[in-house]
A and B are shown apart, each in its own frame.
Chain A
Amino acid sequence: MEYTFRDIMNYMKNDKEWDAPEEVRKQVDGLVMTAFRL
């Protein structure tokens, strides 16, 4: 597969099927460190 982590984040930001509150959507911006620290 040819995609980056940034592509995953962009997909989430534009995913209209994702029924998430705004405060959760905002967390996508910090997802790199969230994933790295898992």
Chain B
Amino acid sequence: MNITPAEAQAKKENAQNTFLRQPHKWVPCSPKIGVAIIAYGGKNYFDVQDDFELLTNVVDNVLEKIPVDIICGNSISINPDREKIMDGHVQTTLHSDGITLEHRQVMHMTGDDYPALIADPDGFVENVLLPRKLPFIFEEGLEKAAKRFEALLMSSYNQKFHAPAKLLPYVMEKYAPLNMGGGAGRCSTPGDVIMDAYRGFKGTMTDLRRHYSEMKELADVIWEKNMVDHMTGYTYKDFHFPSYMTHIPCFLNPKQYDDLCFKYFKQQIENMYAGGGKLYMLSEGNWKNVIHFMNDLPQDSVIFNCEDDDICEAYDTIGAKQIIMGGCKIVTTRLDTAEACKDMTKRAIDHCAPGNAFIYATDKAWCCKGDCNDNLIEAFAFAGEYGKY
């Protein structure tokens, strides 16, 4: 049964007041709609890819039992055809369980490549890094290579005709959450780009010691060339915000974070904030070295989803300045008792809710078999009751 208009309105106001740090009636809960929900229903991605009724059955089986106040889009979006089309030369693959996405990081830039990349970023990517990454496309013949990329683009396009693409409108109509995702702009930092696109984890950790001045120079080039206007000129209405999945910050000391990330990040946030936006930030890893930087950003400009940080310590450090999200550790739901999960939930709500800007959520996405489980459902249901002000 769909939610009533009055219930939908109450949910919307409650969520909006949380983002505005105004008094509200209950702590909003934010489930992360991901493929683990499909696994919880005993199915895999291939079972539901073209079966919308089956997909909604497994999703309803979870969402009907928990509060669905705020979501950030729909993370059930996989393109398993890409791997076949590219003969396995992709970094993200779908495990044979049909659920788990696996990341294989194979980088093609070396520490000696900085000067060439800095001098001509586009040319170096196209003419040097791309042939290193996909050598076979320059050996198989022009027509075959072109047909391969035509198939690749079409496979992405065809995703919108599969059942998961229709899930978000269904969830919005049935449960009426506030979907904070989908806001304009692309937020990232040069430091994250260096790690994700060019040097990988191992290379980046080495370069922080051996190529630091070149990293800083490259960060400036990436910023000026590709990022300076990414969050500029937008206005944000209806509480749709851009997202940022952070990767490198948890590995940096404060000076490195400032040099490679924050000085650029701050400009992006101030530009976005001028248009009325906030940033949803999945703060990967432990931010204890750099979390205090969030206090230098505009009031409530960031929705800080804690991953490995202790939620109460994060709240004590930045909770007066930014919106805090988290409190439910997936590993606890997987490995501990239902009672322990309730205690974890209670502790987070008791400590963080009094600031009027706390959203109950998991630390990580629901992306592996077992991430969605009975304890998780019980913890969310408990948060819905216990979190009433």
In the assembled complex, the Cα of A21 lies from the Cα of B161 at a distance in Å of 14
Nearest opposing residue in chain B for A21, CB measure: B157
Contact with B along A1-38 (1 / 0, CB 8 A): 10111111001100100101101100110011111111
Q: Would you call B154 and A24 a contact (CB within 8 A)?
A: yes
Q: At the interface with chain A, which of B20-28, B121-129, B289-297, B343-351? A: B121-129
Q: Would you call A11 and B138 a contact (CB within 8 A)?
A: no
Nearest opposing residue in chain B for A18, CB measure: B150
Q: Hey, which chain A residues are within 8 Å of B153, CB to CB?
A: 20, 24, 27-28, 31, 34
Q: Would you call A4 and B127 a contact (CB within 8 A)?
A: yes
Q: Would you call A8 and B157 a contact (CB within 8 A)?
A: no
A1-B139, A38-B91 given; A6·B126 CB < 8 A? yes
Q: Would you call B138 and A36 a contact (CB within 8 A)?
A: no
Select the residue from A6, A35, A37 with max chain B CB neighbours within 10 A.
Answer: A35
Q: Would you call B130 and A8 a contact (CB within 8 A)?
A: no
Q: Would you call B133 and A36 a contact (CB within 8 A)?
A: yes
Q: Hey, which chain A residues are within 8 Å of B140, CB to CB?
A: 1
CB B26 to nearest CB in A, in angstroms, measures: 40
Q: Hey, which chain B residues are within 8 Å of A34, CB to CB?
A: 152-153
Q: Would you call A37 and B146 a contact (CB within 8 A)?
A: no
Q: Hey, which chain B residues are within 8 Å of A18, CB to CB?
A: 150
Q: Would you call B149 and A8 a contact (CB within 8 A)?
A: yes
Q: Hey, which chain A residues are within 8 Å of B122, CB to CB?
A: 32
Q: Hey, which chain A residues are within 8 Å of B130, CB to CB?
A: 5, 32, 35-36
Q: Would you call B146 and A12 a contact (CB within 8 A)?
A: yes
Q: Would you call A1 and B125 a contact (CB within 8 A)?
A: no
Total B residues in contact with A, Cβ cutoff 8 Å: 30
Nearest opposing residue in chain A for B226, CB measure: A33
Nearest opposing residue in chain A for B142, CB measure: A3
Q: At the interface with chain A, which of B41-49, B82-90, B315-323? A: B82-90
Q: Would you call A36 and B129 a contact (CB within 8 A)?
A: yes
In the assembled complex, the Cα of A31 lies from the Cα of B154 at a distance in Å of 13
CB A34 to nearest CB in B, in angstroms, measures: 8
Q: Hey, which chain A residues are within 8 Å of B154, CB to CB?
A: 20, 24
Q: Hey, which chain A residues are within 8 Å of B197, CB to CB?
A: 36-37
Q: Hey, which chain B residues are within 8 Å of A31, CB to CB?
A: 149, 153
Nearest opposing residue in chain A for B196, CB measure: A37
Nearest opposing residue in chain B for A10, CB measure: B146
Q: Hey, which chain B residues are within 8 Å of A38, CB to CB?
A: 82, 86, 89-91, 133-134
Contact with A along B69-94 (1 / 0, CB 8 A): 00000000000001000100111000
Select the residue from B131, B134, B141, B145 with max chain A CB neighbours within 10 A.
Answer: B145
Judge if B112 is at the interface, Cβ distance under 8 Å.
Answer: no
Judge if B137 is at the interface, Cβ distance under 8 Å.
Answer: yes
Judge if B143 is at the interface, Cβ distance under 8 Å.
Answer: yes
Partner-B contacts on A (CB < 8 A): 1, 3-8, 11-12, 15, 18, 20-21, 23-24, 27-28, 31-38
Partner-A contacts on B (CB < 8 A): 82, 86, 89-91, 122, 125-127, 129-131, 133-134, 137-143, 145-146, 149-150, 152-154, 157, 197
Given A31-B153, A35-B134, A36-B197, 16 other A-B residues pairs in contact with their CB atoms under 8 A? A1-B141, A4-B127, A5-B137, A8-B142, A8-B145, A15-B146, A20-B153, A24-B153, A24-B157, A32-B130, A35-B149, A36-B129, A37-B197, A38-B82, A38-B86, A38-B134
30 contacts between A and B (CB under 8 A): A1-B139, A1-B141, A1-B142, A3-B145, A4-B127, A5-B130, A5-B138, A8-B137, A8-B142, A12-B146, A12-B149, A15-B150, A20-B157, A21-B157, A24-B157, A27-B153, A28-B149, A28-B153, A31-B153, A32-B125, A32-B126, A34-B153, A35-B149, A36-B125, A36-B129, A36-B130, A36-B133, A38-B86, A38-B90, A38-B134
